[in-house]
């Protein structure tokens, strides 16, 4: 799929998308998946690794954050090298020191209005925590206010609100809390729900909502859908797609990946590889 559009931020030919995320050793999510999605949309990538995770069929085995100084240097180098950055996707942050290093490093690019999307990774698919409580605080008060879009699933949206003392089972309340922090828009994804259709809901600062539906895949939920969606949005926003179009196009892309996902061992993968030869 090739995307086209106009955007002052991406006016420098070949400007890449910066991925700020962790490496999943299984390759099913995180940085490895982000790169595949963005390159499939014909963007170059720059990578700022936040942590190395050891993951497999039984979930997360270990997490090792990278030194914050190294993260700062990586992001600064991506911004200062020609031709700059067209968009930013932020994934797993692991802890407060990492989250603060990312937030501090992104302040100059945020002021330039380059689109930034945050996939607020709170837990792995298997339920293991992937950010500590202090890291959530930095995410809430430093990173989310500088972002164009946040893409939590329902559980993540409720967990973020709960961290600030808002105990609710209502995703609308959680989304309203996130919008009040200053994030441009909130897309609460519905992949973990039940029923024949999956509904993703876009919450706007105006109070309006836009619902997007696609068929729910039968069987295990594929890994990496949140990573793929936020990465796709970063690319579509970078070429100037309006918010709703960027969201809709990204959801359609990921729905197609889900439809063609395949069980490999005990995991359902969005990019299972082609071994037909």
With CA atoms as reference, report the closest residue to 45 among 85, 3, 91, 93: 85
Per the document, the length of the chain is 277
Structure-block tokens of residue 217? 């895949």
* pTM given for the model: 0.90
Residue 144, CA distances (Å) to 87, 105, 219, 263, 272 in order: 15, 14, 33, 34, 32
- Stretches where the chain sits below pLDDT 70 are 1-13, 125-126, 192-193, 274-277
Query: Residue 156 contacts by C-beta under 8 Å, 6 or more apart in sequence?
Result: 120, 121, 122, 123
DSSP 184: S
Q: Edge-to-edge, what's the strand order for the sheet holding 149-150?
A: 59-65, 45-56, 17-24, 87-90, 116-118, 149-150, 186-188, 197-203, 209-215
Q: How far apart are CA 92 and CA 203, in angstroms?
A: 22
The torsion defined by the Cα of 73, 75, 77 and 78, in degrees rounded to 10, comes to 160
User: Going by C-beta distance under 8 Å and a sequence separation of 6 or more, which residues neighbour residue 214?
Assistant: 197, 198, 251, 252, 255, 258
Distance from first CA to last CA of the chain, Å, rounded?
23
Bond from prior residue into 73 cis (ω within 30 degrees of 0) = no
Which 8-state DSSP code applies to residue 143? I
Rounded Cα gap, residues 131 and 152, in angstroms? 14
Nearest-Å Rg of the Cα atoms of the chain is 17
Task: Report the number of secondary-structure helices (H) and strands (E) in the chain.
Answer: 8, 11
Sign of CA dihedral 51, 52, 58, 61: negative
Q: What is the pLDDT of residue 59?
A: 79
């Amino acid at each position: 799929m090739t995307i086209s559009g106009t955007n002052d931020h991406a006016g420098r030919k070949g400007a890449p998308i910066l991925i700020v995320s962790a490496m999943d050793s299984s390759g099913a999510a995180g940085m490895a998946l982000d790169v595949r999605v963005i390159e499939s949309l014909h963007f170059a990538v720059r990578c700022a690794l936040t942590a190395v995770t050891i993951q497999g069929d039984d979930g997360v085995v270990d997490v090792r954050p990278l030194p914050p100084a190294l993260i700062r240097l990586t992001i600064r180098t991506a911004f200062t090298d020609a031709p700059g950055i067209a968009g930013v996707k932020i994934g797993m942050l692991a802890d407060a020191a990492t989250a603060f290093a990312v937030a501090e490093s992104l302040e100059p690019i945020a002021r330039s209005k380059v689109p930034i999307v945050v996939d607020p990774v709170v837990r792995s698919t298997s339920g293991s925590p992937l950010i500590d409580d202090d890291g959530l605080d930095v995410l809430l008060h430093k990173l989310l206010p500088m972002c164009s879009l946040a893409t939590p699933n329902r559980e993540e949206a409720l967990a973020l609100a709960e961290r600030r003392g808002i105990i609710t089972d209502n995703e609308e309340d959680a989304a309203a809390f996130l919008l009040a922090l200053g994030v441009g828009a909130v897309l609460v994804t519905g992949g973990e729900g039940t029923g024949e259709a999956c509904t993703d809901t876009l919450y706007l600062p105006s109070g309006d909502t836009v619902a997007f539906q696609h068929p729910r895949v039968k069987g295990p939920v594929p890994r990496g859908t949140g990573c793929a969606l936020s990465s796709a949005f970063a690319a579509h926003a970078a070429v100037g797609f309006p918010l709703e179009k960027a969201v809709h196009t990204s959801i359609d892309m990921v729905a197609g990946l889900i439809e063609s996902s395949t069980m490999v061992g005990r995991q359902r993968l969005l990019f299972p590889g082609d071994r037909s030869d």
